[in-house]
Every structure is written in structure tokens, then in C-alpha cells.
Chain A
Amino acid sequence: METIEDRQKEIIQEFGMFDDWMQKYEYIIELGKDLPVIEQEFKTEDHLIKGCQSKVWLHADFGADGMVRFTADSDAIITKGLVSLVIRVLDGMNGQDIAQSDLHFVNDIGLTSHLSPTRSNGLASMIKQMKIYGMLAANQQPQP
């Protein structure tokens, strides 16, 4: 079964193919356009991620098996692309694994150093929120 680590490696490999950041952004924008949009009912104030200059809404659904499904949206397309990268890595994974994940791909593809501080903070806030959802999902599971 595919792990969080496998997915991160895939993304790192994909980004390795681009020569410059303009191309990387082109790809991020395409990803943004493809992001499955969140249900309208979840685009509310309490689904907003704090710390973003653009708006980001994030929703999590917990499966009976401890699995977490994420949907999200943003009013800015580059943000949407970044969100879609993180969702691609964590979506459908086990809550426990999400909570404990180390999303090093963000750093490895050079995003951390490349993003503006506000955007970088926004991304960090979103990852933190996803881990919280992971933890909540894990806690809902009966202890072995």
C-alpha cells in the first residue's frame, strides 16, 4: 500500500523535472485548477485556515477505519495548487499516520525558502490543521 513517504517521493521527483520556478508555478497552477472543490456548505468561517493572506477552506471527513478524506478550496489559484499538493500526500491516509507525518517534501522541493513568509505561514497553518484532524480521527478509533 502507498505510504505518505511514497507520495512525497513522487512529488519531489516531479518537481525535479522543472528547470525554473516559473515552470514549477505553472505546474502548481494546473494542480490548483484540478483540486476537487469543497462542498459549498463547508466554505464557512469555521473552515477557514488562519494565517493566510488568501482564503483557504479545509474540510475533513473521518472514515470508519480511521482514514481521513480532505477537501479544500482557496480564492487564490497558487494557494489552491499548494493545498492540492498537501492533500495529495495526506488524503485517505490513516489519522495516526497523518498526525505523525513529517512533510519534508515542502522543504525538499524548495517551497519553504521560496514562498513569501505569509504564504509559508499559511501553508504551515494548514498542515497543522490537517494533523489535528488526523489526531482527532485516530482518537475516535477503539484502542487495540
Chain B
Amino acid sequence: MDDVVSIGAVEKIRKHFPILQQEVNGKPLIYFDNAATSQKPLSVIESITEYYQEYNSNIHRGVHHLANIATGKFESTRQKVADFLGTDDLGEIIFTSGTTDSINLVAQAWGRLNIHSGDEILVSELEHHSNIVPWQILAQEKNAIIKVIPVTDKGEWDLSNLEELLSERTKIVAVNHVSNALGTINPIEIIINRSRQVGAKILIDGAQSVVHFEVNVKSIDCDFYCFSAHKLYGPTGVGVLYGKREVLESMAPYRGGGEMIKTVSFKGTTYNELPHKFEAGTPNIEGIIAFGSAIDFATSLDKDWVQFHEKQLLDTATTFLQEIEGMKIYGTSAQKVSVVSFLVDGIHPYDLGTLLDQQGIAVRTGHHCTQPLMERFKIPGTVRASFAIYNSIEEVNIFADALRKSVKMLR
């Protein structure tokens, strides 16, 4: 695929994203904070208003017309998510409020039953706080131990001591598929394979992966896979927990309330079937329906083109960054998504972020909710630019000029 085709494709895609047509501080907005949240195509935005204007109604229990439409659309998103992740079983798709909520659900509903004193939970140094703290809460309650896969200077897992980290005492391995702070794509197949040998369950935090490449939970063979809608062109407040049926069946409910019960009496309550057992209360109906539109949008994209274009954005940015004096890129694995995290010698990331913002460029600065990782590199944080399909090479070039100018001002 050549550059001309790519430029045409980006222009076409950008038309779907109204937010990108604005100016910030007198400059055209350049949005490079996609790892924090993606922008939303018009189809997603319209589904939300359409829901409230045309068929707002509570789902599942109603017999009336509006409730039937809402329920149908809501459940069709579940079908889309199941197709998206490669499972035929709709009971394996649980809607949550986001990746964080999904991980907490597993840590509580699975963890409380299966983690006992002295048991081990294996995470990695690359994890987001949301894949550390829920396990710490559980470990504290159960007197369990958290073990950590260290990270190399390149920002990859150091699996040389995996034998010592993974044993029959390991009850669950909870790791991310892609690092949010560095962009490293982790070799989850190795860890899944080894975890199976010791009988540990596996949770994969896929918050940063599903927007970049296809994921098939059946071929990965994990027990849990979590992601958020808002990083995949969808609305905030919606997430997915995929769980293997037999594992989900063995778990007790996480929250009590409406929807998750079969019968309720003061003598005893019986619980609903999967997936409803884990979906207490009225869910984020419009969000989940709009999420269906987001998946439609994501699956309509040419996968090869997405890979090609994102790699081109990353390579262009990496090349110009390396030419800046005092530049250090954190995360230099050959296996990366379109995320680049960096620091310039003697310059605080916050200062760079502020001056880039003045020039219309949105990046993220700080520890990216990965304080243990920042500690490992002995830095307070980084500047992170994360690219999406609607970003252009031209934007990366403007970013290069703006960054050079900022560095000059701050030196």
C-alpha cells in the first residue's frame, strides 16, 4: 500500500469524527491521546441521541414496544462483542462499566472463592494500576502473595525467571496484552502456555489491544479477557468481561440487585443465568447500544490498512524523536502498537505537554497510572503520544516541529 492511498483513507476516516474538525489555541486540533480514550465516530454519537429520542426504555422485563426495541438493540451488542472476540456463547460476554470494573469483578467474584492464604497472584511490572490494586485488595484480605514479572530496559517482560515466579501456588496470572504506558505487545501466548501447566487461571487486560489488532479469545485460550468500549471508538462507562463459561458458572455473584436474580425470597434467593448473573441493576443501556455501533465501525475497517497506517505513524514519530538531542524513548520493543513514550533530558514532561497543548497538540504526561513501571525506570513520568487511524503523517510532522520548538524554549 502506498502513501497516496493512505492519505486518501485517512481523509475519508476523519470525516466520521466531528470532534477532529476544531481548533485548539488557534491551531487545528491534533489528537495524540488515543491510548487514554479514542474519539467517537458520528454513528456512535447518533446512536446515543437516537436511543433517547426514539426508544428510551428499560430493558429485559418490559412487555411494551419500546422495551422490546431497546432490549433487542442492547442484546445485539452482546452478539457483536461475542463475534468480535470469537466466541459463540453469549453467556460468556458480561457488560461492565469498563476494564477496571471487569478486573474488580474477577478479583472479587472469582478471587474470594479461589484465593486462600499463601496463594500467589502473578502480575507484571508493566501493569496499569487497575490490574494491580484489585489484586492487592484481594491479597490483603486473603493473606495471599503478589508476584511480579520484571521488565527489561526495552520495556519487555523479562521471563528468564518465570520458573521461580510461576508454580502450583500460582492461582491466577493477570497481565496486560499491550502496555498502556509504553505500547509493548506482550507475548501472552508464552505466559498462558506456562500458566496452564501449573493450573493457574489467566486474565488478560486487553484495554490497549483490541483497537489495534484482532483478538480471538478461543485461540488465545485465556480464562478472562477485559476491555473498555471507550478505547475502541465507543462511549465511556461501558466495558466487557469475557469469561470461559465453566469458570463464570463456578463464580458467585459480585453485586446483588435486580436483573441478576431468578427468584427472591427471604428464605433464599436463586440467581439468574449467565451473563445476567453478573449484571445487577439497570445497565448503561444507551452506552452499550452505542458500543454496538462502535464495533460496527471498528470491524468495517480494513485490518491490513490499520496495521500499515499505525506502523507508519509510529515509525515516522520514532525517527524524528530520535533526532532530538537528549531524547530518550521508553519502550523500544520491536513488538509495539502505535504508542511512543519519551523524555527529553532536563525537561519536565509536564512542561512539554503544556507547550504542545499551546500548539494544538494533545498528548498525555505523567505516570500513566503505572507508578511501579515509572519507578523501575526511575523517572517521574513520560510524555506519551498515542496514534489512531484518523491521525495523519502530516500531523506527526507538525508534532515534530512543535516539539522541537518546545524543547528549544525549555532549554
Contact = CB atoms under 8 A, between A and B. Distances in A.
Residue in B347, B348, B365 whose Cβ sees the most chain A Cβ within 10 Å = B348
Contacts of B216: none
Contact of B409 (A20, A26, A54): A26
A25 B355 contact: yes
A25 B409 contact: yes
B198 interface: no
Contacts of A18: none
Interface of A: 20-22, 25-26, 29, 53-54, 75-79, 116, 119
Given A20-B26, A21-B25, A29 B410 contact: yes
Range for the number of chain B residues in contact with chain A: 10 to 19
B189 interface: no
Interface string B369-411: 0000000000010000000000000000000000000000110
Contact of B350 (A25, A26, A78): A78
Nearest to A29: B409
B351 to A, nearest CB: 5
A54 B410 CA distance: 15
B350 A53 contact: yes
A25 B353 CA distance: 13
Contacts of B347: 77
Interface string B26-45: 10000000000000000000
Contacts of B357: 116
Contacts, number: 40
Contacts of B359: 22
B366 interface: yes
A68 B350 CA distance: 30
A75 B380 contact: yes
Given A21-B358, A25-B354, A54-B350, 16 more contacts: A21-B25, A22-B355, A22-B359, A25-B358, A29-B351, A29-B409, A29-B410, A54-B348, A75-B348, A76-B348, A76-B350, A76-B351, A78-B350, A78-B355, A79-B348, A116-B354
A115 B350 CA distance: 12
A47 B50 CA distance: 54
A57 to B, nearest CB: 14
A27 to B, nearest CB: 11
A53 B348 CA distance: 10
Contacts of A76: 348, 350-351
A130 B357 CA distance: 29
A75 B366 CA distance: 13
B366 A78 contact: no
A22 B347 CA distance: 17
Interface string B338-367: 000000000110110011011100000110
A118 to B, nearest CB: 9
Nearest to B26: A20
A77 B357 CA distance: 16
A79 B350 contact: yes
Contacts of B366: 53
B363 to A, nearest CB: 13
Residue in B25, B347, B351 whose Cβ sees the most chain A Cβ within 10 Å = B351
A79 B354 CA distance: 10
A22 B350 contact: no
Nearest to B359: A22
Q: 7 tightest A-B contacts by CB?
A: A76-B348, A76-B350, A78-B351, A54-B350, A76-B351, A77-B351, A22-B358
20 contacts: A22-B358, A22-B359, A25-B358, A25-B409, A29-B351, A29-B410, A53-B366, A54-B350, A75-B380, A76-B348, A77-B348, A77-B351, A78-B350, A78-B351, A78-B354, A78-B355, A116-B354, A116-B357, A119-B350, A119-B354
